[in-house]
Structure 1
């Protein structure tokens, strides 16, 4: 029954539109005829009020024009003029009142044009209003979409302490305060707190590794971490692949067969390839269990392993030079594995200019930059490592250094320094460049 009543609605709407059109012209005839008929009834001797002080029949086309516009007003005015012509022909009056007819027609057309003008203005205002409403609706939808996205982003980054650069800066600042060498309980606890801070870990432990064997007892724990057997499939796979593994990635297809309580296992591997520990994670917030957080944890774990192995490296030169070589290898490893940009800058100068250049470069250092003097071969050089910096950042640094030296000494940097740069992409590049095996300058 409802369907049978729904279909006739469209013809009814069309009929209403047609009826409105017919009613308009019917109203034109009726109103005009009413004013003309009243004139014949009230003033038979002068029904069109030609000789009266006011031409009352003009009200008919005037009202029609104000209501329907120019063309209906024109038709109403012509109807009045036709009746006037018929009346004068019957009365056999030779002189037609042309002034009176012109006034009737002028008032009709002016009223119709006035109405059409304001109708166009109204339509324009409606179009602008409809467009504004449409834009407002689009803006409202986009606003609520952005609000939902912002809420999800807040939940996703809740408790986050900052960027990778800030994380590494805090990491080196906190671990440099420990005096003991190697991996012990104090350093393990500090390292696990750093990982928990930036990964939002809730239940985790740091497990020592000797060779390919995991120690029986964790060195540090967070939350209610119970013992995990060394035969756990995630631990076994992390030892085998020597990379971060999780149930979200490598074991997604075999999740039903996976017998583990862990979510993520992060190996701590130094830039020299030494596996020193494993971070086993049992629980973390849902919004932190994503590639961005896991990538950050993998990078931090590599730097943690480097800090444990740094004092065991044998590199000729000062302590600052050894530290720069070690950090350069780690930056190259990060560039190769995680596509993180880093650059090396070498400025070769004469001995009398070395102190000035080192002082000005040290004043422009950022939090992660490492600077050292190399005197091993030929003229002395100041070498600068800029982690997490691309070629554009290097160009900005050189521009600031040039301005600083020019203001302090009145000399141009390139008048006494020879520049060499290296964009880190592979770990094999670093050793040869630091040993000046490639003497090309740019």
Structure 2
């Protein structure tokens, strides 16, 4: 029995070595400085730190340690060097010590700005990758809808995407405060959709309960399709497919010798497919297919099912996020609120800021014209929404991972593209994503402290 899975990137020996070095940085620093002093003691006991040599070996040592590990390790090295100077030199070399200390601080400043820039670029790349993945999955869902319409237009004149939206609407109408019960309704309707559209005869979804930090193997619930055989949780978790899918965080399915889905090996496994949904590096749910016709069990259908599962599961996770999110005054656009909270999280944890621009207009027609022009000019990651408070309308624009200069550049381009002089007359103000209180006061025209 062969199981197809994505190739997992192998960590190189260099990466393993660097990770271990960073983990034990202080031990490494103490060891290197100790070896340096030991060599100095044997070569030149009267000049153990080599301060009187033509080449400043001490500064080279401090540069290597501080540039690689940072200020703290540089300070440890300086402390050991100063003790050696105090103990082995007849008169403490103050000038050499102060030069070494000053250079350590300069080296540490280089290390700080370099690592900070790398962190900012990494966060920006991860955010853009996440947005690209979400958009690509939405696009692929639309492609699946087109394929289904082309094949089954007479029998089923409804796209897959519309079916998912119907599932979401049904779950929202559920009159219960239980998050698990709403999630169960999401997945039950999703399994029904798979049965109708992809001939998934039977299957189930195992998903984490409300506790965020629990593992799916320890705290989870199961939703079954209408005719699926019931299994105990131990039977499910002991299955090779499910165990591998959770461990590798990749879809696993029964395959033939060339890696194509094949039912001939079904007798060696309880299940056909295990498709996990990964959210913030944790497995939140796993779709397990128990039975499926031979003609429908192909890679194209499995990819389509995997994309649809992620599309639905992201929506479920998104709703959970919105339930505990920061709120912008008068804004009811869930997509906008969700994106704001994701950027607020990045700003809180990585100090990579984003900018909000608020355009205030007191005329409804002018608001409509300016908003239409803005929609034509928005970049792929930028989003905008319109709210109304008392006599004023507010167009709120969110510029992800961009500073105020980007917002001002957009404002200049907007005014340049608006032809009517009257439509260019409006108030505007920029805010950091951290300035939520001030932003709400601006919208509500509240000058109280």
Range class of TM-score, shorter chain: 0.3 to 0.5
Structure with bigger gyration radius? 1
Choose between structure 1 and 2 for higher RCO, CA contacts under 8 A separated by at least 6 residues: 2
TM-score by length of 1: 0.39
